[in-house]
Amino acid sequence: CRKKIDEGLAKDNVPCPRLGINVEVNPKIPCLAKGIGMKQYSASGRGLVAERNFKAGDVILNEKAIISLVAVAFKYLYCSRCGIPNQHSLIPCPNCVHCMYCSEECLAEDERMAHRYECSFGAQMANIAYDGSNLATKLFFYGLTLFNNDLDQMMKYCEKNSMIGADPFKLDHRNYDPLEEFKIFHETKLHLSPYIEVSFRLCAAATSYVLLKQPSIKALVTTKAQKRSLLNCLYLYQRVAMYFAWERKSPPDCTVTGLLSYGKLVNHSCNPNAMILYDYGQIKCILIRPVRKGQQITISLGPAWFVIGNQQASDLSFTCQCEVCLYGRVGEWIKTGKALPAKALKDLELCTEVMLNEKINEAAKLNAYQQIIQRYDQYLPNMDMSFHLRMYYHKLTQAIMKENIQLNRAKVAAAVV
């Protein structure tokens, strides 16, 4: 029954359309499409690359968060383990009022993973949080659990392997080992920005100070070497949280932060060929344009040439070096596009008619956009096409969120029955 619900086959709750991975799956990494690899780029660091041709509408990533952190203001609305919203139906931790859960399974799993350490002082930690910085504390306790609660063993590994370099594509999820997955986070070489390093140091120092005031942690971390190791790990995991975590926002606030192995490997471009959305404790990446073998998979973190009046590249926390920014102004970049043939204009009008027809379901509307973009992608950037590209992006976002809501309702209904 639960398997059918996860596949969207529950009666009266079948999402339309289904947005799971719709291409061949990587056998080693089931959350990722086969034909997606990782490459080092001089301008943007690690990124995803297409190792074969893909089409618009291909879902290439569907990954669940490993651990989640709920913002204090939303702790009664989201599950502290999986990050899904389950308003007014959450189960509280029996020993604190800081964490709520969507099921007994999530409560037990979070207790096993990390919450047993932070239960008595989790509310205090919220007072020294900086966005999702407390994810670092949870990651430390999660790692300690994976090392069988042996702090000395964890110290020995961490001190020798901090940022030595790691490749998440070497993991084989057919023989899933959470400890090996955790080691990837610890070993990954991270870009160190001097602008935010001060914040990381401050958060790590404040967190360490508060932790060492707690009786349970004080009994666990006793020697100077252990205290130093705790501080170093918290400092590193501040960076890891920033590098590997995605946030679900309810503007202007962050509601839930989730840590993922692959979701943060997609780099930004003002000329993106994919969209990404973190919702209900999982992240999905869908191609909004055809991608050819050898091309980098890119998303927009705000600025995009086809979104008028949106965030500017200059507003980003880094210097964007995509083809749009290197060319100059967005207006000049758009002029490099080709004029559409007469037939294309008729096709665009027909596509608009389909969108306005309330009798046509959402799956058919998405398919119409995909066909238009697949057929005329060679003419981009093009102002006539920009509207359809923008609307396709919007429709995909709505479809993902609607699918998640319907699947969650089906799970709740099944639990009640």
- Tens of pLDDT, residue by residue over 390-412, are 999 999 999 999 988 888 877 77
pLDDT of 14 > 60? The answer is no
Cis omega before residue 27 (within 30°)? no
> Of 220, 239, 259, which one is at a domain's C-terminal end?
259
Report which of 62, 104, 56, 106 is spatially closest to residue 84, judged by C-alpha positions: 106
Report which of 63, 87, 4 is spatially closest to residue 259, judged by C-alpha positions: 63
DSSP letters for 258-291:
EE-SSGGGPEE-SS-SEEEEEETTEEEEEESS-B
Domain match, 240 and 276 both:
no
Domain match, 74 and 58 both:
no
The pLDDT tens digits for 365-374 are 999 999 999 9
Q: How far is CA 331 from CA 74, 378, 382, in A?
A: 41, 18, 11
Report which of 377, 299, 374, 380 is spatially closest to residue 334, judged by C-alpha positions: 380
Domain match, 385 and 292 both:
yes
CATH number at residue 289: 2.170.270.10
Does the pTM exceed 0.85? yes
Report yes or no: 278 and 263 within 8 Å, Cβ to Cβ: yes
Domain match, 237 and 134 both:
yes
Give the contacts of 362 (CB within 8 A, at least 6 positions apart): 16, 17, 395, 398, 399, 402
pLDDT of 195 > 90? The answer is no
Domain count, the chain: 2
pLDDT of 43 > 60? The answer is yes
**Type and span of the H or E element at 92:** strand 91-92
Q: How far apart are CA 411 and CA 13, in angstroms?
A: 10
pLDDT of 42 > 90? The answer is no
The pLDDT tens digits for 131-168 are 677 899 999 999 999 999 999 999 999 999 999 999 99
Torsion, Cα 205 207 213 214, to 10 degrees, reads -160
Report yes or no: 33 and 23 within 8 Å, Cβ to Cβ: yes
Instruction: Report helix, strand and coil shares of the chain as percent, to nearest 5.
Output: 45, 15, 40
Residue found by looking up tokens 């999986």 in the block: 82
Domain match, 32 and 166 both:
no
Beta bridge partners of 246: 258
Domain match, 341 and 238 both:
no
Residue found by looking up tokens 């207790």 in the block: 111
Q: pLDDT-based confidence at 328, cuts 50/70/90?
A: confident
Task: Provide mean pLDDT across the span 251-270.
Answer: 89
> Of 259, 293, 324, which one is at a domain's C-terminal end?
259
Burial call 343-372: b when 16+ CB within 10 Å, e when fewer: ebeebbeebeeeeeeeeeeeeebbebbbeb
For residue 275, give its domain range.
2-64+261-416
Domain match, 33 and 76 both:
no
Q: What is the pLDDT of the chain when averaged over all its residues?
A: 89
Domain match, 88 and 223 both:
yes
Domain match, 239 and 297 both:
no
Domain match, 145 and 238 both:
yes
Domain match, 194 and 306 both:
no
Domain match, 347 and 332 both:
yes
Residue-level pLDDT at 244? 93
Other Cβ atoms closer than 10 A to 231: 19
Q: How far apart are CA 179 and CA 145, in angstroms?
A: 9
Q: How far apart are CA 170 and CA 105, in angstroms?
A: 30
Q: pLDDT-based confidence at 15, cuts 50/70/90?
A: low
pLDDT of 11 > 60? The answer is no
> Of 225, 259, 293, which one is at a domain's C-terminal end?
259
